[in-house]
Structure 1
Amino acid sequence: MKKNMGTTDKIIRILIALVIGILYYTGTISGTTALILGIFAVIFAITSLVSFCPLYLPWGISTCKKK
């Protein structure tokens, strides 16, 4: 897997995952909405940690800085 996510992209994804976690913890979201957003939060966190987003591949998107 070649990295295709830059630092800004990773930070934004982690922040979104944290906001979803906080919304769930405070009871603002629940039920199906919480489940779906929770899945997105986990995906965002994993893709941020590995610096790779499979959805970027078909379109050739890369937010990494060029070397």
Structure 2
Amino acid sequence: MVKNVGELDRGLRLLVGVVILGAGVYFNSWWGLLGLVPITTAALRWCPAYLPFGLSTCRRGAKE
């Protein structure tokens, strides 16, 4: 699997995921589990939504 999530993108995804999870806990809602999606994509450094468009936020030459 080729990385397509860069460092800044990764940090923002983690922050957004934690905020969504926190909101789910605060409001006692199952919708907070949606926060796991950006956290997972940040952890894997791969986003399937980028594939059809050929997008990558990684620096050039940093793909593994």
Q: So what's the TM-score if we normalise by structure 1?
A: 0.79
- Aligned with 2:57: secondary structure? coil
| Post-superposition offset of 1:24 | 1.7
Percent identical? 33
Which blocks of at least 5 consecutive residues in structure 2 are unaligned? Answer: none
Give runs of ≥4 in structure 1 deviating > 6 Å: none
Aligned length, in residue pairs:
61
Moved more, 50-59 or 16-25: 16-25
Which residue in 2 is equivalent to 1:54? 48
Which residue in 2 is equivalent to 1:9? 9
Which blocks of at least 5 consecutive residues in structure 1 are unaligned? Answer: none
In structure 1, what is the Cα distance between the partners aligned to 2:37 and 2:22?
16
Which residue in 1 is equivalent to 2:33? 38
| Post-superposition offset of 1:48 | 0.5
Which residue in 2 is equivalent to 1:26? 26
| Alignment root-mean-square deviation, CA | 1.5
Give the number of the structure with larger relative contact order, counting CA–CA contacts within 8 Å between residues 6 or more apart. Answer: 1
